[in-house]
Amino acid sequence: MELWFTEKQTPVFGITAKIRETLVTEKTDFQDLAIIDTEEFGRMLVLDGMVMTTVKDEFVYHEMVAHPALFTHPNPKHVLVVGGGDGGVIREIIKHQGVEKAVLVDIDGKVIEYSKKYLPEIACELDNPRVEVQVNDGYMHIIENKDKYDVIMVDSTEPVGPAAPLFERGFYQGIYEALKDDGIFVAQTDNPWFKADLIQQVNRDVKEIFPIVRVYGANIPTYPSGLWTFTMGSKKYDPLEVDEKQIPEIDTKYYTPKLHKAAFVLPKFVEDLVK
Amino acid sequence: MELWFTEKQTPVFGITAKIRETLVTEKTDFQDLAIIDTEEFGRMLVLDGMVMTTVKDEFVYHEMVAHPALFTHPNPKHVLVVGGGDGGVIREIIKHQGVEKAVLVDIDGKVIEYSKKYLPEIACELDNPRVEVQVNDGYMHIIENKDKYDVIMVDSTEPVGPAAPLFERGFYQGIYEALKDDGIFVAQTDNPWFKADLIQQVNRDVKEIFPIVRVYGANIPTYPSGLWTFTMGSKKYDPLEVDEKQIPEIDTKYYTPKLHKAAFVLPKFVEDLVK
């Protein structure tokens, strides 16, 4: 018997992956959680039926959330990750020796628990002494902390379910206030083929709050359309003014110093969405 | 009743698209041909079960085959397309006013015939007086023509079935000889997630023949992994030395002068394949 997992990325289009083994299916307090071992992409974390990450392609998303912002800020010491309970973004942040403290706030402790158990190559730095893990509402954490972080990264699920408030203008305002005077934030902002409206709306909202707003992209095979966007809002530093020759070599599989700026050069139809 | 088309992009992973209407299914002399109207991507040309192009995302592939080479060569007048019977690459070539003659050689006349009938937005320039369409073996055309073309574009299917010889070293040698002294060729070379070996093999072969070899990428949602690569071999002109400020504006949806160089900045794992 062959078992296949199918994600409808839109009501009329999807991806399908042959399953080797289903490791977890559980209804947490917040969402449906599954961990599936697929033949093509290895172990896969699925929340509410949507692929969050896979062992084969996770490096793209996690590197591209973390490094562009951390190499734009000249001296990031205190970093916050909202969501991201699988620990992949934390693992990339920890590669930056100057970061003294990385705080992870995920609303769903089960994501953290099962990631540690079944996705150890992703969750491997969650117990690092420079990391503080809080099972908590990221929105509330943002509201309760002012002028505290150098960089804030929003590693959320889609804007349905528990992550919906993380795509509201009020949340970006909260992030602005939680950042120090020269802080930077970055959020995953879905794909331009099926969610152009979302990218436009986030771009408009963030531009009303942050003086510097930039959008970049990366290829993630298991995410809808294979092209994912990230929106960066910055109070002072422009990622396009970084001298790429000054970016130190770190161990990556997707991000490179040359890609730091090239990732911001968007296809015309995407550029048109955010100009 | 819901009908869905599923392409197994690998034996254990695929995409699936809801069908509005099946317009053509035919066994030609060379391959299984289908034209399906899908809800997400509109009309879709399928050869041997693999998506060749869709009305929604075709612009990416066709622009990115045509424009990087045509804006690297300073004065391309005679252009050859091997394969590409749907006419999408020809449509993009015709946007370059300096091109006097674009020759299309596709082995399968049925692809041309059905594309004209069902994909008119793609095939729209096949009857342009600057275009010459030949239903013929592209490999033979290359062997029989020496020192003739400024730019040759290989718009082939996958290296199985009729297109298999188009991925052989001998074919690239033939292309070298069919090009003028300052000629450029470009070929689609599949994706780095599932076909890394192919990209490496083509890269090695082309480097033995052409002094300048460059690989670039583009995001195509309906192609495996969403990240497609193109390999360019050039006798004289380097696409990375083009002054992007000198690239004229043309009507595109993906390609931009800024993207001309940025498309060549590859993710690290892809860069490692071709260095």
Instruction: Tell me the mean pLDDT in the region A186-196.
Output: 97
Q: Please check the confidence at residue B160 and state whether its pLDDT lies above 80.
A: no
* The two structure tokens encoding residue A95: 């590669």
Q: A–B: how many Cβ contacts below 8 A?
A: 119
- DSSP-assigned beta bridge partners for residue B51: B46
- B167: confidence class by pLDDT, cuts 50, 70, 90: confident
Asked if B135 has any chain A CB less than 8 Å from its own CB, the reply is: no
Asked if B258 has any chain A CB less than 8 Å from its own CB, the reply is: yes
- DSSP-assigned beta bridge partners for residue B111: none
- The domain A4-53 is placed in CATH, from the list 3.40.50.620, 2.130.10.10, 2.30.140.10, 2.60.40.10, at 2.30.140.10
Pick the catalytic residue: A57, A150, A155, A190? Answer: A155
- A173 assigned binding-site residue: no
Give the pLDDT confidence score for residue A215 in this predicted structure.
98
Alpha helices in A78-185 (DSSP H): 88-94, 109-118, 120-123, 138-144, 169-178
- Confirm whether B4-52 and B58-274 share one CATH topology: no
Flag if A265 and B254 touch (Cβ within 8 Å).
no
Of A40, A225, A262, the CB nearest to B12: A40
- A9 assigned binding-site residue: no
Cα A47 to Cα A155: distance, rounded to the nearest angstrom = 13
Asked if B6 has any chain A CB less than 8 Å from its own CB, the reply is: yes
Give the pLDDT confidence score for residue B127 in this predicted structure.
98
* The two structure tokens encoding residue B162: 């009729």
**pLDDT, tens only, A3-39:** 999 999 999 999 999 999 999 999 999 999 999 999 9
Decide if the complex's ipTM is over 0.85. yes
Give the pLDDT confidence score for residue B162 in this predicted structure.
77
Give the pLDDT confidence score for residue A63 in this predicted structure.
98
Flag if B262 and A258 touch (Cβ within 8 Å).
no
Cα A24 to Cα A33: distance, rounded to the nearest angstrom = 7
Give the pLDDT confidence score for residue A88 in this predicted structure.
98
CB A252 within 8 A of CB A63: yes
> Nearest CA to CA, how far is A153 from chain B (Å)?
21
Asked if A267 has any chain B CB less than 8 Å from its own CB, the reply is: yes
Give the pLDDT confidence score for residue A162 in this predicted structure.
76
In A, residues 13-52, which contact B (CB 8 Å cutoff)?
Answer: 13-18, 38-41
CB B229 within 8 A of CB B203: no
Give the pLDDT confidence score for residue A255 in this predicted structure.
98
Of B16, B261, B267, the CB nearest to A259: B267
Categorise residue A268: left if φ over 0, alpha if ψ from -120 to 50, beta otherwise: alpha
- B161: confidence class by pLDDT, cuts 50, 70, 90: confident
Give the pLDDT confidence score for residue A32 in this predicted structure.
96
Flag if B60 and A267 touch (Cβ within 8 Å).
yes
- At B125, which amino acid appears? E
Q: Tell me which chain A residue has its CA closest to the CA of residue B3.
A: A12
Q: Using DSSP, state whether A121 is helix, strand or coil.
A: helix
**pLDDT, tens only, B55-111:** 999 999 999 999 999 999 999 999 999 999 999 999 999 999 999 999 999 999 999
Instruction: Tell me the mean pLDDT in the region A239-252.
Output: 96
List chain B domain ranges: 4-52, 58-274
Q: Please check the confidence at residue B31 and state whether its pLDDT lies above 80.
A: yes
Asked if B57 has any chain A CB less than 8 Å from its own CB, the reply is: yes
Annotated binding site of B: 31, 62, 86, 106, 137-138, 155-158, 162
Question: Using a CB-CB distance cutoff of 8 angstroms, which residues of chain A are in contact with residue B56?
Answer: 193
- B166: confidence class by pLDDT, cuts 50, 70, 90: confident
- At A144, which amino acid appears? E
CB B52 within 8 A of CB B118: no
> Nearest CA to CA, how far is A257 from chain B (Å)?
10
Give the pLDDT confidence score for residue B250 in this predicted structure.
94
* The two structure tokens encoding residue B209: 């023949």
Asked if A247 has any chain B CB less than 8 Å from its own CB, the reply is: no
**pLDDT, tens only, A52-100:** 999 999 999 999 999 999 999 999 999 999 999 999 999 999 999 999 9
Superfamily for the B4-52 domain: Spermidine synthase, tetramerisation domain (2.30.140.10)
Give the pLDDT confidence score for residue A167 in this predicted structure.
84
- A137: confidence class by pLDDT, cuts 50, 70, 90: very high
Flag if B39 and A13 touch (Cβ within 8 Å).
yes
Q: Please check the confidence at residue A159 and state whether its pLDDT lies above 80.
A: no
- At A233, which amino acid appears? G
Share of chain A above pLDDT 90, in %: 94
Give the pLDDT confidence score for residue A222 in this predicted structure.
98
Asked if A176 has any chain B CB less than 8 Å from its own CB, the reply is: no
Within a 13 Å sphere around the CA of A170, how many CA atoms are in the beta-carbon half?
Answer: 6
Asked if A258 has any chain B CB less than 8 Å from its own CB, the reply is: yes
CB B129 within 8 A of CB B103: no
Give the pLDDT confidence score for residue B168 in this predicted structure.
87
- At A19, which amino acid appears? I
Sheet holding B131-135, edge to edge: B131-135, B101-106, B78-83, B149-155, B179-188, B227-234, B212-219
Give the list of residues 6+ apart from residue B248 with CB closer than 8 angstroms, or none: none
Q: Is the domain covering A58-274 a CATH 3.40.50.150 domain?
A: yes
- A87 assigned binding-site residue: no
Calculate the average pLDDT of chain A: 96
Active site residues of B: 155
Of B227, B261, B267, the CB nearest to A226: B227
DSSP string, A264-275: T---HHHHHHH-
Share of chain B above pLDDT 90, in %: 94
Give the pLDDT confidence score for residue B87 in this predicted structure.
98
Residue (of B49, B263, B197, B261) closest to A227 by Cα position: B263
Give the list of residues 6+ apart from residue B192 with CB closer than 8 angstroms, or none: B199, B217, B225, B227, B229, B267, B269, B270, B273
- A31 assigned binding-site residue: yes
Asked if B269 has any chain A CB less than 8 Å from its own CB, the reply is: yes
SS3 letters across chain B:
CCCEEEEEEECCEEEEEEEEEEEEEEECCCCEEEEEEECCCEEEEEECCEEEEECCCHHHHHHHHHHHHHCCCCCCCEEEEEECCCCHHHHHHHCCCCCCEEEEEECCHHHHHHHHHHCHHHHCCCCCCCEEEEECCHHHHHHHCCCCEEEEEEECCCCCHHHHHHHCHHHHHHHHHHEEEEEEEEEECCCCCCCHHHHHHHHHHHHCCCCEEEEEEEECCCCHHHEEEEEEEECCCCHHHCCHHHCCCCCCCCCCHHHHHHCCCCCHHHHHHHC
Share of chain A above pLDDT 70, in %: 100
Cα A254 to Cα A52: distance, rounded to the nearest angstrom = 18
Instruction: Tell me the mean pLDDT in the region A268-272.
Output: 98
Instruction: Tell me the mean pLDDT in the region A246-264.
Output: 96
- A155 assigned binding-site residue: yes
CB B255 within 8 A of CB B64: yes
Give the pLDDT confidence score for residue A62 in this predicted structure.
98
Give the pLDDT confidence score for residue B165 in this predicted structure.
81
